[in-house]
Structure 1
Amino acid sequence: MMIVTAPAAVGKSTAASFLSFHLKAPVLDLSTLQVGDATLEGSLSKALGAGNFARYLDRMVHGAATLIVDALDEAEVRSGQANFRAFIRGVADTASAFTGKPAVVILSRAESSQALVETLEERRIPFAQFEILPFNREQAEHYLDGRISDIYSASGREMIHKKHREPFTKARDALFKIMASALSATDGEIWEVPAVRDFLGYAPVLDVAAEFLAVDNFATVSRDFSSKAADRGLVHWDMVSQVIDHLLVREQEKFVAQFSKTPEFIALDDPRLAAALYTPEEQCARLLDYVENMRIPMDLPGHLPAKVREPYETAVSAQLANHPFLRGSGWFNVIFRDYVTARAISSASTSADTGQAIRRRLLSAEWKHSPMFGYFTFTLSRAVSEDVAQCHSELLGALYESFKSMCDSRDTLRIIVGKSGNRLIATFAVLTEIDTGSADSGKFLVSMGPLGFVTHEGTIGISFPRELSHADIYEVPEVTLGGDGGSFKLGPQVYISCGELLVLAKEVHVHGEASKYPVLLNLGSLTSEHVNLKAEPEQLIVVCDELFYPWSQHQKRVNLDELRSNSREAYWLYVELRRIVLRFKDAKAGEVALYQPFLDNLVIGENRRARIALDFLQDIGCVTLRNSMYLLNLAEYAKLGISRTQLRNLEMTEASKEWAERLMNFAAAQ
């Protein structure tokens, strides 16, 4: 006996047809049968007739004939465990009489074949086992050519990819490279990276690629690569999302095709229910529960009649174990894990308890983050016509960890979070330093983003589990640092303004840039217990009325009574002016500059006070906009009478108070 396994959609049925043609062997398609004991012999006898069946079986026993058995995994779903096990035992009984070459070739997904393997091993019946691997580059290109031809042929169009080979090849290779960038940052041969080869060589991936490439003008493909999504670093994630969604829909169709033939479902006499079975969202929730043990309540679909619940759960268990996103009991690839997680957390059908369970795992120390979760969450959580995605505020910390995982030594992740009404608005962007070859500081380009998120109504608390750096957080009611109570890294370049700061970490390491931009915590209250705070005095400033050790060592008291009117608002505006001015780096020339999109999108964002402070600096002539650059005139700034050291340390001098009042009056006039 020979057993051939492969994940979903790799081509088991195609392999069965190929073997049938070359071996002149019949194919027994189990996807159409309700299997049980003696199904193998009964089906052959019915198809061949009693006399011919006896002769054919005798030839099989002596290795002179072969039977191809396809879709063992689908038979498990359709028939139920008791009938499926009986079928396995019957196959083993038949195989025990074989004396020649392999007489039966069975094709299945790996998990469903395991029961057969175990039975054969128990009975010491010899068998060979093979696995169909994803295509290599040459095979993938050949398969892709064929699929594109099918698409052109179905629509009655000319085979343009054969006529204009050079532009097609260029577009195809560019597409492969973009999709590969979702899994590897290599600049070399992408097909040499195992994870990339497995993904690009997967037939369903190539099916979606074929639809993308079956165009009338291959130049349009290049324009798609240069789209807004591509500029934000999203085009490959949009495509990968399409591929994975295609697989989920395909799984649903295969399951429904089998389960709808069961006696229990037929007895319902309600074919409309089929569309609600094993939906992509249900698959994602079940996969997370199956692999990650998240203990998600599994009453899906919720309106399934009680009398079919038990057979449905049995069938789903069999289908899930053979899911194309799995390899054994784990994920086939982290890209599938992150898509499933993002889709489950983004779905409107996900219950509040399920969403909370997923967020809790994402913020735990056990979860190993990758950039894919952040990208997929953005892609799946936004409307097509909008540039911002929606999520629960607790998810922002997990998104931070996800985007942070894509950064290397040259990259900086910047995050801005601010309150707007009863929601939070967050922006993420990755800046990459460019080596200018000079002694000056390197320049930066925005290599990812900015990506915007708005939180669900009423969700206004955020938690960062491991670290926080290059962050501006303003007017957020509650911020939590260190979800698991371990060590937390804070800074550099962090500004937090919040009602309550809750520190759960037992050890906090502050990395403020003392000479430039110390960490500033502007708090209504601070709560922590037995924290080991490691920070130099010049690295951390904490503005809070009531503080205890060790935070009190870094306390900065501000006497708002010294400001003549509306003191609290004047102080807030002055803090925002401080934040903007300190972004301009020191230079030998009379001016220092900041790139306009950087300041507007990644420093100010939706912060109303920061926008007023920048407008004020422009109004008094300290800052001008020239050729997409904001320029700070150092001579004009000197007239304010506030040194950068005083500004950095929030020293409220007479000049500081005067300019805070002027800034307040400017804001009042807007």
Structure 2
Amino acid sequence: MATRGNNLTVASMPTPFVPPNFESVDGRDLSACEVILIKASAAVGKSTLARAISATQGIPILDLAHTPVATGSLIGILNDYQGAISPVSEFHAGAAPILVDALDEGRLRSGDNGYLSFIESSAQLILQDRRHRKPKLMLLGREEAIAYAEMYLVDAGVEVTILNVGYFDESGAKELVHAYATASAKQDSQYTIHKKPADDLVETYFRKIADALSIPHDQLWDNPSGKSFAGYAPVLAAIGALLPEVENFAEAQNKLEDVRLNSAWSVIENVLDSIINREQGKVSTQLSNAGVIDPQGLLYSPQEQAALLLQHVQGLALTGTSKIRLNASDTVKYSDQVKRFLPEHPFVKDGRFSNEVIASYVVARAIDAGWKIQDHNILRQLARQPFLWRSLRGTLAGDAILEGEYLGYVLTSFWNDPLTKDERVEITDKEDDADAFVTIDVLEDSLTFKATTPVYFFGQIRNVTVNTDEPFTMVGIGEGSSQAFSFSGNNNVTGSMVDLRATEIHLRNGRTWLDADIVPAAGQLSLIIADGVEYGWSAQLSNVYPFSIFPSTINADEVENRDRLAGLLSDLAARSPVGTSLMLHADYSVPENDYLRTIFSEYGHDFKTLMTTLVGEGWANSAPMQVKGPPKVRVRFKASFGQLRDAALKPAQDGELNTLIALLRQRIV
């Protein structure tokens, strides 16, 4: 990499790399916008994309995952920029743009206040000189971090546009698969020699995805659900990396064709199963030739491989499942074969898992088998992606019991799944059972399983009801001495004792009720509550600092049973600051991937009724936007959602506002 400053780096081109699809949210001319916000879901390769943009355009990256920021950070970083005669002047002229990566990690590292101060002061810097309306900042992050950045930048008057990083289409998906296959294939591999059978196997894989989702083959790439599975970059990369490992494409294709699979994820697991079974066959052949008898098929079995792989990446002794019993001579022969084959296993590279999909597959097998995972850094990384949840989902049913210390990682992975992240979770206990009962609403279904106590939450609680007499633990996330634990959505947490391993509690949106004896692990606890959030504490907790300085705004019953109009306005107030305008479809529905989509999914018709009434009664105005795709409008409001919420909760002094609320109550019940 070519360094341009202590915190700025021009990256080298990542390989392999296939450009993803970009979808403009507002259809604006990129060249005329001062800030370009690039929004992407979990695991679509934001950092890889950042490196590619940096390398091809010569734009330096500011990585917030490693650089703490606050008020004025950008100008200080610019002044450290090497190679520019006047870096600040070149920045204002659009000649020295900065690409800011890892907004989400930046919020954790710098805290909400530091992150938002950085955004606000960056906006102020841009506004100092606007003679050149060109891109000066590009910001990459997930939906919520981008939403906050957009709010503050737009409110400041900065020209902003948003690009969504979409899933790959059919041609891009196949190109990515073959790019990864080519990068890892040896010259004498069957993939290199016989490309046509490899193409046929890839086609079969996509057909099986369509079958599992009950989508006609020719509609897979036009269906949002189909595209989200078939066009997911990490999965495509995993499939591509494994293609060169296939020795008989016709046999692999026939096996895939013959299997009836009931979910799209099971198609992916079937491919991974075939690889791990093939590896067992290789070792079994060598052992058989050496005279080692394995009548039960336990040697280098799929479970044994999962244990060995996990031990390998953690740097532990290779003991496997410890269930194999051999004589001394055969033990040596088996150990020799493990040491020979394991470092070359298709699932690992340079002592680490090849990617998150494969790691999740292996770790899920380990968790299901009840093995201890000593290195929780592996779990922390996998929790940021949906694959750990998807890999475990099929095993979490009936009599399944999950180790409580892993529950938080699984739930965070669940919340990072774009298909399920806003569903509810309930954790309860029973008098005659020491385990906790966990129920997760998954789309149209519900999944219930047990977890040993104490259960752990990792970094966050989102749309969760906890009602247990057992103690539980909340573990914060962050860098250094600052460890934050956050609440989002509607939460009702009742328990005996909470072991809090964090220095900060953040209430980000929605409403939260806490009734538990919260015991911080060390030091003084900070409580940060976002504007518009409703909250309440039990009588006991209300006398404990820092909860004592924030009088409750709700009681326990109001978390579950609230006025629908007040609830809608409260949720909007929590997500939209004063002065925010909204970009909506012409019928006042919320566009896909918008930061308010979760609110619209809950309120739907009532959301549109609210917008129609506000515009019709003169409390907002609506203007058409010149954008590509379906017609959109920009809605600007004369009162903030916070003001409307307050009037819905308690009559206002403004008679006209009270009249509006009365009308809304007639229409939103």
**TM-score normalised by length of structure 1:** 0.47
**TM-score normalised by length of structure 2:** 0.47
